[in-house]
């Protein structure tokens, strides 16, 4: 059984995140069709092309997921949960840096953040809901494998 009091640890999360980002980039290149990656910002709905200042984003932070599930899952299993397809998306670097480790709902509660970063609340809430569902499904899948 995992140690429920172990400190936050990112090594396994980051190793898998690197692989997920590479897969997403390949898919974005295919979508772009012209050798330039094509993404849709998960919070604004705007089109992002390779070369723009965007980041790969954990919609639910890796630390939040780790702390929630460390009593039930190993670090490797938590890495699977954090990096499930529903929880990894792309957003402008300015949004990612502004949000930091805050939960998106808390960040969006400041209307200045929404207006300054052109956040589409419907799209952002859908991304959050989808991430939560993906995380829940991945946890259930992992626990059912035992």
pLDDT digits (tens, 9 = 90+) for 115-128: 999 999 999 999 99
Percent of the chain with pLDDT over 90: 92
User: Comparing C-alpha atoms, which of 92, 72, 91 is closest to residue 135?
Assistant: 72
What is the rounded CA–CA span in Å between residue 28 and residue 36? Answer: 8
- Residue 101 has a pLDDT of 84
Q: Does residue 138 surpass a pLDDT of 80?
A: yes
Distances (CA, A) of 144 to 41, 113, 140: 33, 40, 6
Question: Which residues are within 8 A (CB) of 3 and not within 5 positions of it... i.e. 6 or more apart?
Answer: 70
**Mean per-residue pLDDT, 26-33:** 96
Query: What is the chain's mean pLDDT, rounded?
Result: 96
Rounded average pLDDT over 74-100: 97
Q: Is 49 helix (H, G, I), strand (E, B) or coil?
A: strand
Per DSSP bridges, beta strands 47-49 and 38-40 are antiparallel
pLDDT given for residue 144 in this prediction: 97
The mean per-residue pLDDT over the stretch 18-32 comes to: 97
Whole-model pTM?
0.94
Rg (Cα) of the chain, in Å, rounded? 16
Q: Domain boundaries in the chain? A: 11-144
């Amino acid at each position: 059984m995992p140690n429920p009091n172990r400190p936050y640890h990112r090594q396994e999360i980051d190793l898998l995140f690197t692989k997920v980002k590479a897969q997403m980039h390949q898919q974005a290149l295919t979508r772009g069709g012209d050798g330039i990656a094509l993404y849709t910002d998960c919070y604004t709905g705007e089109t992002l092309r390779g070369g723009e200042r965007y980041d790969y984003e954990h919609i639910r932070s890796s630390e939040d997921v780790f702390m929630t599930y460390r009593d039930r899952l190993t670090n490797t299993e938590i890495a699977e949960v954090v990096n499930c397809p529903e929880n990894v998306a792309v957003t402008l670097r300015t949004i990612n840096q502004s949000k930091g480790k805050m939960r998106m709902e808390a960040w969006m509660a400041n209307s200045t953040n929404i207006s300054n970063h052109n956040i589409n609340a419907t799209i952002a809430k859908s991304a959050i809901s989808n991430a939560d569902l993906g995380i829940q499904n991945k946890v259930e899948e992992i626990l059912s494998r035992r």
